[in-house]
Homo-oligomer: A and B are copies of this chain.
Amino acid sequence: MSAKMLTGEEVAKHNNKESCYVIVHGEAYDVTEFLPDHPGGQGIILKYAGKDATDAYDPIHPPGTLEENLPKEKCLGKVDMSTVKQEKKEESEEDKQIAKNKEAIPPLDQCLNLYDFEVVARQVLKGTAWAYYSSGSDDEVTMRENNNAFGRIWFRPRILRDVSTVDYSTSLLGWKSSLPIYITATALGKLGHPEGEKNLTVAAGRENIIQMIPTLASCSFDEIVDARTHEQQTQFYQVYINSNRAVTEKTLKRAEQRGVRALFVTVDAPQLGRREKDMRIKFDDVGSREQVENKDNVDRSQGAARAISSFIDPSLNWDDLHWLRSITRLPIVLKGVQTWEDTVRAAEMGLSGVVLSNHGGRQLDFARSGIEVLAEVVPELKKRGLYSSNFQLFVDGGIRRASDALKAIAMGATAVGIGRPFLYAYSAYGADGVQHAIKILKAEMEMDMRLIGAPTLKDLVPEMVDTRALNMHTSVPSTNAATVYERIGTAADPSGSKL
């Protein structure tokens, strides 16, 4: 054993605000000065002061977080882990309940649709993981609207067409996919399962659909690429442009080298949204009395979202796209476009496409759904002669059925992205769960195309959907107001409480 190695005892002395060491992946770090800057609050770090924090650190910090946020000298070197006192972790009530739920999990075959995975995942995920995955911003109006919007689109199915064979394969930006559906980028995959995003890679490979690799993955980029099941497996890459352009440049070079086929630049997140469900559970996690004393800082704790996003550049604008094109030959697609005006601009710039998306309802609340935006985008592109296979339209948000995808295709999209349902699928069942989810979508796709009378995706024409109600937002969305508002009383029950 090297003389340089720290011992657990040495580290353990630095267990307070004045001097705070933590061990992560066998290395000790002095985080004393970093404490007040920790986006998740200092309370959560102090819980591990002088101890091994690896298990808590791992799922919510993408690889490299520590290295990027701490000066080099704060890394104190390797620790002799045999000298570190093993905490005997007491199983929490939540852990026990989850263990029990896991035993009662329904067999995978009983998951008949994508909603089922959500219900099952709810029972086996830790509260913090569930909150991070399932939350939307503010009143979660947009999050729900994403799904609701599809409910305002109805089919006009044709009959007596030969649908003995049905073909739902297509190509995205020139790359084959067995479905007009791809796995979109979502962050912090290890919150749901130790294999994290690799579950998605494996299932996508087996079923021949395309995965979009996220910048904020829990697994490293290389781990995800290495998980490919075969050489031809196509992967796209979602990128947040870093304030430090050099970092982005390096990242993209690596992506190209590893055979990534397209870049999806996120443009709807100059700042991450306030996801209150996620924020509330943080208070539960850390002793919250302590925090109330820091009255001057509203945003001290914003949950996992804030913890991982501080590097995103809020100054990113159209001019930066010239730079971006100068450093990569990959096709560029803007992810998070929300108006026809910006779509037209992207097409005029010669980009390869846009994803009409509101970030799964996690950014601006009361942003419209991608599918609604699609309805305004297509006519404007056609009017300008910009609607062509060289500029593809993608939609994500709220897609839970193959029929949702088919609505988008009929309206003019090339493919749709699905995020959360696949996270839930592997949270509950690993890669097999994701694969089963994809198989369900294929089974639905085959049935739906037969019943619509469209043997191939090309046969899905605008006349097959009735979208007249799509932009009629006459229903009042359910906000917190519905929760706080009181029932009206009557003479027989003045307080309204009896009813």
Q: Residues on A close to B: CB < 8 A?
A: 106-113, 115-116, 118-120, 122-123, 127, 134, 138-141, 144, 147-148, 151-164, 267-271, 273-274, 276-277, 279-281, 283-284, 288-289, 291-292, 294-295, 298-301, 313-318, 320-321, 334, 336-339, 341-342, 363-368, 400-401, 403, 407, 432, 436, 439-440, 442-444, 446-448, 450-452, 466, 468-469, 471-477, 479-481, 483-496, 499
Residues of B within 8 A of A288 (CB): 106-107, 109-110
Closest 8 CB pairs of A and B: A107-B292, A364-B451, A116-B491, A164-B315, A115-B480, A280-B494, A469-B473, A159-B267
> Are the C-beta atoms of B450 and A270 separated by less than 8 Å?
yes
15 contacts between A and B (CB under 8 A): A110-B491, A112-B276, A118-B484, A119-B491, A120-B491, A123-B492, A156-B339, A160-B318, A163-B315, A298-B439, A299-B443, A364-B448, A364-B452, A365-B403, A468-B473
- Cβ–Cβ contact B291 & A485, under 8 A: no
Using Cβ atoms and an 8 Å threshold, which residues of chain B touch A499?
483
Whether A109 and B273, one on each chain, are in contact in the complex, defined by CB atoms closer than 8 angstroms, is no
Across the interface, do A113 and B480 meet the contact criterion of CB distance under 8 Å?
yes
Q: Beyond the given A466-B471, A466-B473, please list 5 additional residue pairs across the A-B interface where CB-CB is below 8 A.
A: A116-B492, A151-B479, A159-B338, A273-B447, A483-B488
Bound complex: CA A17 to CA B468 (Å):
55
Known pairs A156-B339, A475-B475; A141 contacts B151 (CB<8 A) = yes
* A94 CB to nearest B CB, Å: 12
User: Are B436's CB and A159's CB within 8 A?
Assistant: no
Closest chain B residue to A301, Cβ basis: B109
Q: Which residue of B lies closest to A345 (CB)?
A: B160
B364, A157: Cβ atoms under 8 Å?
yes
Most chain B C-beta atoms within 10 Å of own C-beta, residue among A336, A407, A451, A493: A451
The reply to whether A473 and B152 contact each other, CB–CB distance below 8 Å, is yes
Contacts of A488 in B (CB 8 A): 139-140, 276-277, 479-480, 483
Question: Which residues of chain B come closer than 8 Å to A110, judged between CB atoms?
Answer: 280, 283, 288, 292, 491, 494
Closest residue on chain B to residue A110 by CB atoms: B491
Complex CA–CA separation, A320 to B123 (angstroms)? 51
Hey, which chain B residues are within 8 Å of A127, CB to CB?
495
Q: Are B366 and A154 in contact (CB under 8 A)?
A: yes
- Please indicate the chain B residues that have their CB under 8 angstroms from the CB of A111 in the complex: 491
Cβ-defined contact, B144 with A447, below 8 A: no
The residue in A139, A273, A291, A298 that gathers the most chain B C-beta atoms within 10 A of its C-beta is A298
Residue with the greatest number of chain B CB neighbours at <10 A, chosen from A144, A338, A488 = A488
Cβ contacts under 8 Å, A484 to chain B: 115, 118-119, 122, 490
Contact B144 A481 (CB under 8 A): yes
Minimum CB–CB distance from A317 to chain B (whole Å) comes to 5
Taken together as a complex, chains A and B put the C-alpha atoms of A330 and B286 apart, in Å, by 52
- Report chain B residues within 8 Å CB of A271: 163, 446-447, 450-451
Evaluate whether A298 and B436 lie within 8 angstroms (CB atoms) in the complex, with A141-B151, A318-B160 already known. yes
CA distance A11 to B471 in the complex (A): 65
Chain B residues near A157: list those with CB within 8 A.
268, 338-339, 364, 367
In the complex, are the beta carbons of A160 and B440 less than 8 A apart? no
A337 CA to B157 CA in the complex, in Å?
8
Q: Of B109, B148, B401, B489, which one neighbours A138 at CB under 8 angstroms?
A: B401
Is there an interface contact between A160 and B314, defined as CB atoms closer than 8 Å? no
Asked if A476 contacts B367 (CB within 8 A), the reply is no
Task: State the CA gap A484–B122 with chains docked (Å).
Answer: 9
- Selected contact of A151 from candidates B315, B472, B476, CB within 8 Å: B476
A364: chain B residues at CB < 8 Å are 155, 157, 403, 448, 451-452
